Structure 1
Amino acid sequence: MSSYEARFKVWRGDVRGGGLEDFAVEVNDGEVVLDIIHRLQATQAPDLAVRWNCKAGKCGSCSAEINGRPRLLCMTRMSVFERDETITVTPLRAFPVIRDLVTDVGFNYAKARQVPAFVPPEGVGPGEYRMMQEDVDRSQEFRKCIECFLCQDTCHVVRDHEENKQAFAGPRFLMRVAELDMHPLDAAEESGLDRKRAAQDEHGLGYCNITKCCTEVCPEGIRITDNALIPLKERAVDRKYDPLVWLGNRIRRRT
């Protein structure tokens, strides 16, 4: 097994401030960036804080920015970098730093609680739900989300404009709204909940300008923009501005 010495710059600090610290560390064949961070903890920086859990790309815990790009530390192989390249590891920029590479992602859990859950259809009990396979396949893609929040971090609406966080749920949770809105058994409208209107008025769908940056960083390969956000925008616009839809809604309400 061959090895070499790599140059790393790792952000160290806390809510009060910090900066990049230089390290030279051994790298072995087949290792990922998280392996190197663990080696730094073991040999040079025992107090370096990093969040991780599964080391298999399924828990979403080890999100960080590597050379400025949001990535999972455990899924970024050292082989993708040149051996003489200096690798910079910094915390997610869109969220407040707690310490070193650990950020406070509580914003995302607050947004998750604002999305109303699936509404079961009346008169259909547990185990009695029936759906067409194509409807199952359509929403199954979105359920691959591992809550790494890389899409939230890279979305410039959140990343570059702190003032937008109050009104904007971000791509991960707009995707959740889209999933529920396209679910054939969701009885939200029957219960008085208009998910399309809520997406626009409460979750900030209009802030999204479909740059596809969220799709580009998704480690699960979910086509967030093409399959969730754009169709949701189209349905929301139809509901709000299409005169035939408006007339049909008025007639149904009058009936």
Structure 2
Amino acid sequence: MSQTASTGYDAHLRVWRGDAEAGDLADFTVEVNEGEVVLDVIHRLQATQAPDLAVRWNCKAGKCGSCSAEIDGRPRLMCMTRMSLFDPAQTITITPLRTFPVVRDLVTDVEFNYEKAREIPAFVPPEDLGPGEYRMRQEDVERSQEFRKCIECFLCQDVCHVVRDHEENKEAFAGPRFLMRMAELDMHPLDDAERAGLDRKRAVREDHGLGYCNITKCCTEVCPESIKITDNALIPMKERAADRAYDPLVWLGNKIRRRGRGD
């Protein structure tokens, strides 16, 4: 793709139209002005040619994650994808997120992601600390702060081939966004999960499908917040989960502790 400036020209779009039952790509020619993004052009298409076109959006500032779609096959935020990325002569194809069921046109049902979010036990506050008493090293703050930048656009969920190409995996696999959430909780120095009877390393491996992830880094590549999901969350979580499950010294220590409790 060239960096040709997009000023005062007509763009050729192929936009998916349809619903859960059926649909197809429709061709449109839409005016483009300098500095515009794909969402601007989609809004102009609604205003001038297709008033019934369904598209989800909210902030138009790359922070709500609502306008996720696939542009020429790549998951992107429409509000953060500049038309100047594309050659004015090329046809731009805009389709809904492939991994989730279509509601209508560019809108998909992302309930799968909220179901996975509900399955993750929340942060467990330390019992011996009250409000205002939490203290953390700055490096621990910075490490988890990266993951907190997530806007839940679900582009990483959409591109992950574990569920994108294998619908049958959805029940057992949380996806990169929520594996990252569990990694964040496990890294948190004040998370008192054990007091609540939670073993996050076991759960991420046995209940949320961490082993399905084969670290292709496709989730990192599409993240609009540039979060290093694979390198900073998934790989470290895999290492810690493997240590807990297979390290002979850890196994022996757990065995001794269970005997000490009379288990």
Task: Tell me if TM exceeds 0.5.
Answer: yes
Equivalent in 61, 65, 72 of residue 70 of structure 2: 65
Is the counterpart of residue 4 in structure 1 residue 1 in structure 2? no
Contact kept in structure 1, 2:201 and 2:241, CA below 8 Å: yes
**Is there any run of 5+ residues in structure 1 with no aligned partner, and where?**
none
Q: Alignment identity in percent?
A: 80
> In the aligned structure 1, how far is the partner of 2:180 from the partner of 2:257?
29
Is the counterpart of residue 226 in structure 1 residue 239 in structure 2? no
Question: 1:207 is matched by which residue type in structure 2?
Answer: Y
**Is there any run of 5+ residues in structure 2 with no aligned partner, and where?**
1-5
- The normalised TM-score by structure 1 is 0.99
Q: Which segments of structure 1 move beyond 3 Å, counting only runs of 4 or more? A: none
Evaluate the alpha carbon distance shift between residue 124 and residue 70 of structure 1 in structure 2; reply closer, same or farther with a 3 A threshold. same
In structure 2, the residue matched to 1:43 is 48
In structure 2, the residue matched to 1:153 is 158
> In the aligned structure 2, how far is the partner of 1:132 from the partner of 1:113?
29
Q: What secondary structure is seen at the aligned counterpart in 1 of 2:12? A: strand
Is the counterpart of residue 96 in structure 1 residue 96 in structure 2? no
How far does residue 25 in structure 1 lie from its aligned partner after superposition? 0.6
Equivalent in 117, 121, 125 of residue 116 of structure 1: 121
Equivalent in 144, 147, 150 of residue 142 of structure 1: 147
Compute the RMSD of aligned alpha carbons.
0.9
Equivalent in 246, 251, 255 of residue 251 of structure 2: 246
> In the aligned structure 1, how far is the partner of 2:31 from the partner of 2:54?
19
How far does residue 132 in structure 1 lie from its aligned partner after superposition? 0.6
Q: How many residues align?
A: 255
Evaluate the alpha carbon distance shift between residue 244 and residue 93 of structure 1 in structure 2; reply closer, same or farther with a 3 A threshold. same
Question: 2:46 is matched by which residue type in structure 1?
Answer: Q
Question: 2:205 is matched by which residue type in structure 1?
Answer: Q
> In the aligned structure 2, how far is the partner of 1:151 from the partner of 1:131?
29
How far does residue 125 in structure 1 lie from its aligned partner after superposition? 1.1
Equivalent in 77, 81, 94 of residue 82 of structure 2: 77
Q: What secondary structure is seen at the aligned counterpart in 1 of 2:43? A: helix
How far does residue 56 in structure 1 lie from its aligned partner after superposition? 0.1
Is the deviation greater in 54-63 or in 240-249? Answer: 240-249
Query: CA-to-partner distance for each residue in 1:6-56, whole Å, 9 max, x for gaps?
Result: 100000000011000000011010000000000000000000000000000
Contact kept in structure 1, 2:7 and 2:35, CA below 8 Å: no
> In the aligned structure 2, how far is the partner of 1:35 from the partner of 1:161?
33
Equivalent in 4, 25, 32 of residue 27 of structure 1: 32
